Structure 1
Amino acid sequence: MQSSRVPASRRRFLSVPHPSVLLLAVFLAGCASSNRPDLGSRNLHDTLTVLAERHHVCAVAVAVIKNRQLASIDTATACLPAATLAPDSVFQAASLSKPVFAYAVLKLVAQGKLDLDAPVMTYLPQGYRHQRDLLRAEPSDPVSDPRLAAITVRMVLNHTSGLPNWTSGTLRVGTVPGTTWDYSGEGYVLLQRAVEAVTGLPLDQFMSAQVFQPLAMNHSDYAWNERVAKHLLPGTKANGAPREAMTLTNPNAAFSLLTSAADYGKFMVALLADDALLKQVTALPVAVDPALGLSWGLGWGIERGQDDSAIWQWGNNTGYRAFAIASVRSGDGFVMLTNSENGLELAQPLAEKILPGQHTLFQSPILGTDVLNILCNRLHICL
């Protein structure tokens, strides 16, 4: 649940520090040391342990994929008392929800139940109501912007709908649909309502039938329930202190997935092994940052190198961070789930270790400047 600058989850649920404090935090970020521990000779478990301790990450779980097969699952913890970790430990996956939902949407397209280039409103003849609060069904209001009718299924999946990431006010289309890449969680909720209308099922039940049950993802759900809650790790701040996280009782296609590293690894294996679907995901990407070779496909960011491309997505919910990446050519990759607001600090060193080579995505402002983390890590002001 993120934006291209300060994460939306943080803006929505926490007060923002005074502007002078923000400027100081950004200055400190620019002055921060780039020194990293030497991880080249360490195995994955030791690497995870070093990184978790360095960044105060209480729990991290990583599923590694090699040649389109789930190769290993490893975990580490750096808080006392140590978290009890297992391959089926559950985390909030945040925006890693989006690629799984996109996968299910493409399955519906293959079944002839949706058309990628049909307007989403085709499937919502009664109109669309916008939730003003992400965690509650009400209050809501009907969206009257006529440009909503021009948004297609494809535009939602590749973030060219023109809708904002999130808004608690009146929902309006900001740019002409189909013309500009602009990351949007609101778009995914719009498409969620169309999927629910077409299938006659609420999102959590649809995703269970379409994805989780077929792939034996037994510790995954788009809504909080007792089955997954008993394996759910509590979220933490950047310093390892407990964070009162959101209880995701209302399913949301953009950010409410609860899952384990083992389960998400199964999903990535299924996608990477489906050549036709993977080509569909990556075939017609829209430009995001051409200088860095970054574009966006159907549900995934795409990082293009000289002889390969990678699909990727990051996640940012209150108390949790997540990251997933995979090579289209080799079928190698990994998913990382953490219960820490420092969790994304582990993404780049893990990517460099598991998928050697330059990853330009980490130079992109898409990942944002996490001001509250900077305050906590540099000034020890942990809000």
Structure 2
Amino acid sequence: MMFISAFLSGCATCDRTGSMPESARETLEVLAGQHRVCKVALAVIKNRQLDSIDSATGCRPASAPSHDSVFQAASLSKPVFAYAVLKLVAQGKLELDAPVVGYLPQGYRHQFHPLAAQPTDLVTDPRLQALTVRMVLNHTSGLPNWASGPLKFDSTPGTAWSYSGEGYVLLQRAVEAVTGQTLDQFMAAQVFAPLAMNHSSYVWNEGIAQKLLPGTKANGAARVTMDLKSPNAAFSLYTTAADYGRFLVALLNDDDMLKRLTASPATVDRSLGLDWGLGWGIEGNQDDRYIWQWGNNTGYRAFVIASLRTGDGLVMLTNSENGMELAEPMTQKILPGEHKLFQSSLLGVDILNFFCNTLRLCF
């Protein structure tokens, strides 16, 4: 496994054509071709303003995405949901250190599959009473990422960092109970409409379908993907690079929100300077702090990062399982310097991609 990791990290940013071009757009085109990323859209933020929307294609026939091309954003769903949750906190409708289950009078019924209504189980573990809104947002809930059966805790809430989509679904249920709205209705009213994110939704619909780019495997072949018709705070966001760029700009210009989400973060990896705030990963060094999140859905990969000091950043959406190969070099282009987050096991080896890219076995 160490050999595989080293092999992939060595090839992730290799340049087969010499030095990279000067512009972000040209760099994007070169990288998309190198890594056979069929469609990629990039929003570039400079000084807390949306600077450009670029796109490229690495497959044939070549037709770059348009500004309103829609992708599955995968786990980039989480920071947008966290932003809306923090707005509810500011409105006094939620408390960060209140138990999530306290907003669910009937308790929490966990779905064995996040997109299937049945089967379910009523969670009775007493540790649920100690799990707060803050713990969900910074991934110290003690819950697993996903559970395909009855929901069980991996650790006591608040004691350790461990990435958890299950926690976000639990908090989603609390938000729905407090607001009386489904997640997609709530997010449309709280975030999408105010920020003019007109091509974004937490559920598949006919409007989304008209602009949605189909997912692809690492070799560029079509990947059968699921239409996400049940809203899920952890991964079901459909959006465009322009829409997500508007969200990131709004966040970067909201000092109170930034202070709240970066205060007292949970430690992820001290050796790499990685923490987790309320909805965002945080990479820190002596000069700056960066907020970031990656996304991994079947047929899609996504990445977002921004500097809290300069207000520069990027949003990258792809319809390719090779998409994360572009994250580090594009980050270097927009935010020069060492970014140790790319050494994290969170962004570890994708075995299916390894077999597809090196052995041409694409499952």
Report the TM-score, using the length of structure 2 for normalisation. Answer: 0.97
Aligned to 2:336: 356
Q: Does 1:124 align with 2:100?
A: no
Q: CA offsets per residue over residues 320-357 of structure 1, 9 Å max, x none? A: 00000000011100000000000000000000010011
Q: Specify the alignment match of 2:153 in structure 1.
A: 173
**Hey, what does 2:298 align to over in structure 1?**
318
Q: Report the 3-state secondary structure (helix = DSSP H, G, I; strand = E; otherwise coil) of the residue aligned with 2:186.
A: helix
Residue of structure 2 equivalent to 1:219: 199
Q: Return the alpha-carbon distance in structure 1 between the equivalents of residues 60 and 228 of structure 2.
A: 26
Counterpart contact for 1:135–1:248, Cα < 8 Å: yes
Give the alignment partner of residue 114 of structure 1, picking from 94, 101, 113. Answer: 94
Q: 1:278 maps to what in 2?
A: 258
Matched, 1:133 2:124: no
- CA deviation after TM superposition for structure 1 residue 82, in Å: 2.5
CA offset digits 1:225-278 (Å, max 9, x no partner): 011111000000000000001210000000000000000000000000000001
Which runs of 5 or more residues in structure 1 are unaligned? Answer: 1-22
CA contact (8 A) 1:119 1:152 kept: yes
What is the rounded CA distance, in whole Å, between the counterparts of 2:315 and 2:325 in structure 1?
14
Alpha carbons of structure 1 residues 39 and 228: separation in structure 2 relative to 1, 3 Å: farther
Match of 1:198 in 2: 178
Q: CA deviation at 1:40?
A: 4.4
Q: Distance in 1 between matches of 2:230 and 2:7?
A: 41
Aligned counterparts of 1:288 and 1:145: Cα–Cα separation in 2: 26
Distance 1:267 1:174 in 2: 33
The 2-side partners of 1:163 and 1:201 are apart by 25
Paired with 2:359 and 2:134, the residues of 1 have a C-alpha distance of 43
1:236 aligns to what?
Answer: 216
| 2:278 alignment counterpart | 298
User: What do you get for the CA RMSD once the two structures are aligned?
Assistant: 1.2
- Equivalenced residues, count: 359
What is the aligned counterpart of 1:79 among 59, 65, 68? 59
Stretch deviating more after TM superposition (243-252 or 35-44): 35-44
> Which residue of 2 is the match for residue 343 of structure 1?
323
**Structure 1 residue 256 corresponds to structure 2 residue 236:** yes
Output the CA distance in 1 between the equivalents of 2:362 and 2:276: 34
Unaligned runs of 5+ in 2: none
Aligned-pair identity (%)? 68
How far is the alpha carbon of 1:307 from its aligned partner? 1.3
- Provide the C-alpha distance between the structure 1 equivalents of 2:64 and 2:338, rounded to a whole number of angstroms: 34
Structure 2 CA distance for partners of 1:248 and 1:88, relative to 1, 3 Å? same
Determine helix, strand or coil for the equivalent of 1:164: coil
Matched, 1:30 2:6: yes
SS at match of 2:75: helix
**How far, CA to CA, are the matches of 2:91 and 2:345 in structure 1?**
37
Q: Distance in 2 between matches of 1:140 and 1:288?
A: 31
Which residue of structure 2 aligns with residue 69 of structure 1?
Answer: 49
C-alpha distance in structure 2 between counterparts of 1:135 and 1:83, whole Å: 32
User: Can you list the C-alpha shifts for 1:288-347, whole angstroms capped at 9, x where unaligned?
Assistant: 000110000000000001111000000000000000000001110000000000000000
CA positional deviation for 1:134: 2.0
Alignment of 1:105 onto 2:89:
no
* Cα distance in 2 between the residues matched to 1:31 and 1:195: 43
Query: Are 1:58 and 1:83, in contact at CA under 8 Å, matched by a contact in 2?
Result: no
Change (3 A) 1:39 1:142: farther
Give 1:30's aligned amino acid: A
- Tell whether the 8 Å contact from 1:28 to 1:378 is kept in structure 2 after alignment: no
Question: Contact 1:39–1:47 at 8 Å: present in 2 too?
Answer: no
Aligned partners of 1:266 and 1:380: how far apart in 2? Answer: 38
**How much does 1:39 deviate?**
4.5
Counterpart residue number, 1:245: 225
Match of 1:330 among 300, 303, 310: 310
Q: Distance in 2 between matches of 1:41 and 1:375?
A: 30
Secondary structure of the 1:154 match is: helix
Deviations 1:150-200 (A, max 9, x none): 100000000000000001111011111001000000000000000000000
CA separation in 2, counterparts of 1:322 and 1:281?
21
